[in-house]
Structure 1
Amino acid sequence: MHRIILFRGMNTGGVRAPVGEQRAMAEAMGLKNPRTLQASGNLVVESALATDRLEADIEAAMEKTFGLKIVAMVRTPDQWSKLIAANPFPKEAVAHPAKVVAMVMKDGIRPGALDAVQALCRDGEAVKAVDGVLWFWFPNGQGGSEIFKKATPRMLGMGTGRNWNTVLKLAEMAAGKG
C-alpha cells in the first residue's frame, strides 16, 4: 500500500537531505518504489507497515543516515483523499492553489490553538480546523503573514504545511500516477 511521508522542516532552515539519498535510505529500509516530490520533504513509498510504525522507523533512519532529528508524518491514500475532500477553502484553492495550505499535524492540534491563530489573521486571512488538519488561506501569500511568523509548534502542535498544489501532486503520486 502506498504511504505519503511528510517531513517537517526538510530542506528549509538549513536542514538538508538530498532527495536521491532519501530515496536510497527508503530502499535500504525495505520500502518499495520510493519517490520524492521536489526537494521539499515529501516522499511516497509502498509499505505494509502501519503508519505509526513507519513514522518511527523513518525518523530513526533519518537520524541514523543524515544525523537529523526530523519529524515525519505518514498518511495513507485514503487519509489523504479525506484531507482533500475536507478542504474548507475549495474556491480559493482553485483560483490560488499556492495560497491555500493544509497543515498536517503529528499528534493533533493543541487546545486553544485555533483561537490563538485566528487572532493573528489579517487582511482576509482565514484559518479553519477540519479533522485534525489546520487549513490556512493566505490571500496575500505566506511570507508577510503574522501567522507564518508567529504560529509555532508551541502554539499549534507539531505539524507541517503543504500548499494545495503539493497536496494534489502527492495524491497523484500515491495513486501511482506521478
Structure 2
Amino acid sequence: MDHRIILFRAMNTGGVRAPVTEQRAMAGAMGLNNPRTLLASGNLVVESDRDPAGLEAAIEAETEVRFGRRIETLVRTPAQWAAMMAANPFVEGAASDPTRLLVMVMKGEIRPGAVEALRAFATGDEGVEAVGGNLFFWHPHGIGSSKMAEKAQPRLIGTGTGRNWNTVLKLAAMVGL
C-alpha cells in the first residue's frame, strides 16, 4: 500500500480547532491506514491507494461534518512530493537555511500574473519561482518581515498552503523518501 501526504489549509487557525488526535481519528474512520500527524498545523500522512483528487473531496466533506467547516485539503502521492522537491529552484538556500524556503503547494492553477506581481514586492535577495504548479519562495531575511510573503494571498496567487523546507523534508521522511 502506498502513502498519501495530506495538507490542510488554515488548520488550527481562523477559529478552526482540530486537534491532531481528532485528525487521526477522522482518517481512521475514513478507512485510511496508519494515520500520523506532523506538528499541529495540518500535516497528516496515511497509507492509502486512493486517488488524490477523490480523497481530497472526501476529506473536505468529512472536515465539514466533524469540525463544522470545510477545510481545504491537498493530497499528494510520494511520487508527486518527490517531484516537487526535485523541482526546487532554491537548492542552495534549502541547504543553507531550510526555514527560509517556503513551498506554496497549490490546489489549482497559479493565477495569471501572480509571480510577476509578487516579484514587484521582493526586496534584496528575496525570490519567487513557479515550478511544477507550485510556488517556491526564498526569504533570506525571514518571512515575518517580507512584503512579498504578506501579499501572497489567495486572491493574488490562487489557493494553496505553505510549508517550510524543514516540514517538506520531514513529510518526505514519513513516506520513505
In the superposition, the TM-score normalised over structure 2's length comes to 0.96
5+ residue gaps in structure 2? none
Partner AA of 2:38 in structure 1: L
Distance 1:84 1:97 in 2: 12
Structure 1 match to 2:158: 157
Where do residues 1-178 of structure 1 align in structure 2 (5 Å cutoff)? 1-175=2-176
Distance 1:14 1:122 in 2: 32
Partner AA of 1:37 in structure 2: L
Q: CA deviation at 1:123?
A: 2.2
Distance 1:80 1:41 in 2: 16
Partner AA of 1:168 in structure 2: L
CA deviations on 1:14-41 (whole Å, 9 max, x unpaired) are 3221000100000000000000001011
In the superposition, the TM-score normalised over structure 1's length comes to 0.96
Distance 1:68 1:36 in 2: 20
Distance 1:19 1:126 in 2: 33
Aligned residue-pair number: 176
Distance 2:94 2:31 in 1: 36
Identity across matched positions, percent: 60
CA RMSD of aligned residues (A): 1.1
Partner AA of 2:123 in structure 1: R
